[in-house]
Amino acid sequence: MAYPPKDMMAAIAVTRFGLGARPGELETLQGDPQGWLKAQIRKEGADPIPNDGASSVKRLTEFAAYRRERRAAKADGEAALGAARLLRDDVGEDFVARARLGATTPAGFRERWALFWANHFTASATKLITAVVVGPYENEAIRPHVFGRFGDLLIASASHPAMLTYLDQFQSVGPDSPGAQFAARRQNRTAGLNENLAREILELHTVGVDGGYSQADVTEFARAMTGWSIGGPREPQRQGQFVFRAATHEPGSRTIMGRRYDQDGVDQAAAVMADLAAHPATARHVCGKIARHFVADDPPAALTDRLVAAWTASRGDLAVVANTLITANEAWDPTPAKFKTPYEFLISGWRAIGGQPTSAQYLAPLLTGMGQRPFAAPSPKGWADDAVTWCAPDAVIKRMSWAEGFAAVVAQDRDPNRIAAEALGARLSPQTAKAVARAESRPEALALLLMSPEFQRR
């Protein structure tokens, strides 16, 4: 398969690998679309979400204070509700800051690459304690590592308070640990092993459901992970940070997927994760997901093979994998096979007009209506990555209503023919160009563009 012509490559680069073209952007990469993509790969990782540097420590300290107040003022439910709302507002601010970054960044591929990994290692804002650190989680654990080694990314995510709270790891106690014995004397029924994170690391983050592990491997891995926790309110020096609690760590050697781990303490689970990161099934599982995310719901096997080879040869160097993706000719098929998620759709809409979203109050209900509540994927598996999910009838109607309302507000002073050309370049079909040109008003023209088959795909 040969590469398509340059102008088509430029349009693909900015829409399939990026988040859509801002006005004038396509022109700048016309000469060297692949070079434009390559230049976005950098060792220091993706751009941080500009959320005033709010850290997990700060957020979890505030969260602890909120809990304390709630307990103290049981009678005053109003005050507690108000405090919870403030915390939720922080989460909304994180989200809209990320959306603004997406709408304005000149490095759309880098941002998409970061979003892929944030979704791969989903920590969902479904409980408040996790919600307050989902934004900081991306900045602290995901974004710095997305062009580094996969193994480092895995450990960074598994040891972050967002993941430790989301999948209940921070409360997991080894049954034979001193902590369990202490809890038993105090008749604390909550102390015990929790397999949640260990299972999801195997099933979702690394080797995959067919990766060749058994229930016994899950339990053994969960035992190895005991002690991975976070500092609580009574530990002011390390509140909101990762801590290893030797007292709750299950003593002894573990055997996982046929390998024996004699390490003591925190190193034991880290060694397991290093092996999982290097496992061939992990390369196959994760590379398949990358191909599916960027290229097609059912990606060409040759593309996945190419990514797996690069992953294996570089021992999970994600910069190498990213580079392989953008140079693989299978990734440049001019026919767009991916239907944009609601987030990708909305962000690319703002990019097309050179704008950006302004408030979470506006953005959150929109995305929720289209099936993608901010930061709140329905399960640890993250957001679905196929057209069947996102091209549902009700969601398409909601997209249409949004496009109509959005266009009515923003289209007045803009030339929709030009927006169409600048947003889609060579991908703009004659049918859509004609519909836009013949529309009877600018808002109608822009709504048609946003809802066109090629704008909704990438």
Partner 1 sequence: MTSPVISRRLLLAAGASITFLGGGAYADETLNRRKLVVVICRGGMDGLSVSPPIGDPDYANLRGSIAIPASAALKLDDTFALHPSLTTVHRLALAGQARIAPAIASPDRARSHFEAQDVLESGASKVYGVSSGFLNRTLASLAPQRKVAGLSVGATAPLILRGKAPAGSWSPGAEANDLPRLPGLLTDLYAGDPMLAAALAQGLQTEAMAASAEQGQMAGGGMTPGLGRAALASSRKLGTTLAGFMTQPNGPQIAAISLDGFDTHANQNNALPPRLAGMDALLDGLSSGLGDEWKNTVVVCATEFGRTAKVNGTGGTDHGTGSTALVLGGALKKGGIIGDWPTLKQQALFENRDTAPTLDMRGLFKGVLADHMGVDRRALEGDVFPDSAGAAPVVGLV
Site for partner 1 in 53-72 (CB under 8 A): none
Strands (DSSP E) found in 173-330: 228-230, 242-244, 254-256, 259-261
To the nearest 5 percent, what fractions of the chain are helix, strand and coil? 60, 5, 35
Stretch that binds partner 1, among 26-34, 164-172, 223-231, 384-392 (CB under 8 A): 384-392
Report in angstroms how near the CB of residue 437 gets to partner 1 at its nearest: 7
- Give the CA diameter of the chain: 78
Alpha-carbon distance of 251 to 92, in angstroms, equals: 42
- Residue bearing tokens 């023209």: 445
Give bridge partners of residue 254 from the DSSP assignment.
261
CB–CB of 120/208 below 8 Å?
no
Cβ-based neighbour number of residue 236 at 10 Å: 10
Give bridge partners of residue 229 from the DSSP assignment.
243
Report in angstroms how near the CB of residue 104 gets to partner 1 at its nearest: 24
Nearer to partner 1, 367 or 447 (CB): 447
Report in angstroms how near the CB of residue 435 gets to partner 1 at its nearest: 5
Burial label, 135 (beta-carbon count in 10 A; 0-12, 13-18, 19+): buried
Nearer to partner 1, 16 or 340 (CB): 340
Q: At residue 233, what are phi and psi to the nearest 5 degrees?
A: -60, -25
CB–CB of 449/455 below 8 Å?
yes
Stretch that binds partner 1, among 79-87, 150-158, 257-265, 449-457 (CB under 8 A): 449-457
Would you state the structure tokens that stand for residue 254, as one six-digit string? 């573990």
| 298: contact with partner 1 by CB under 8 A | no
Report in angstroms how near the CB of residue 123 gets to partner 1 at its nearest: 31
Site for partner 1 in 207-236 (CB under 8 A): none
Report in angstroms how near the CB of residue 5 gets to partner 1 at its nearest: 22
Report in angstroms how near the CB of residue 164 gets to partner 1 at its nearest: 39
Alpha-carbon distance of 167 to 157, in angstroms, equals: 12
| 430: contact with partner 1 by CB under 8 A | no
| 89: contact with partner 1 by CB under 8 A | no
Q: Which of 46, 134, 256, 451 binds partner 1 (CB under 8 A)?
A: 451
Report in angstroms how near the CB of residue 363 gets to partner 1 at its nearest: 20
Nearer to partner 1, 214 or 358 (CB): 358
Alpha-carbon distance of 36 to 42, in angstroms, equals: 12
Report in angstroms how near the CB of residue 371 gets to partner 1 at its nearest: 13
Alpha-carbon distance of 270 to 254, in angstroms, equals: 13
Nearer to partner 1, 188 or 441 (CB): 441
Site string for partner 1, 386-415 (x = CB under 8 A): -x---xxxxxxx--x--xx---xx--x--x
Alpha-carbon distance of 287 to 261, in angstroms, equals: 27
Nearer to partner 1, 5 or 405 (CB): 405
Q: Which of 253, 359, 361, 441 binds partner 1 (CB under 8 A)?
A: 441
For residue 228, the SS3 value is: strand
Give bridge partners of residue 317 from the DSSP assignment.
149
Stretch that binds partner 1, among 2-10, 149-157, 197-205, 429-437 (CB under 8 A): 429-437
Site for partner 1 in 300-359 (CB under 8 A): 339
Give the CB-side neighbour count of residue 23, counting CA atoms within 13 A. 11
| 262: contact with partner 1 by CB under 8 A | no
The continuous run of DSSP H or E covering 248 comes out as none
| 274: contact with partner 1 by CB under 8 A | no
Would you state the structure tokens that stand for residue 373, as one six-digit string? 């509540």
| 283: contact with partner 1 by CB under 8 A | no
Size of the site for partner 1 (CB under 8 A): 34
Pairing of strands 242-244, 228-230: antiparallel
**Hey, what amino acid is at 52?**
D
Report in angstroms how near the CB of residue 447 gets to partner 1 at its nearest: 6
Report in angstroms how near the CB of residue 7 gets to partner 1 at its nearest: 22
> What is the contact surface with partner 1 in residues (CB under 8 A)?
339, 387, 391-397, 400, 403-404, 408-409, 412, 415-416, 431-432, 435, 437-442, 444-445, 447-448, 451-453, 456
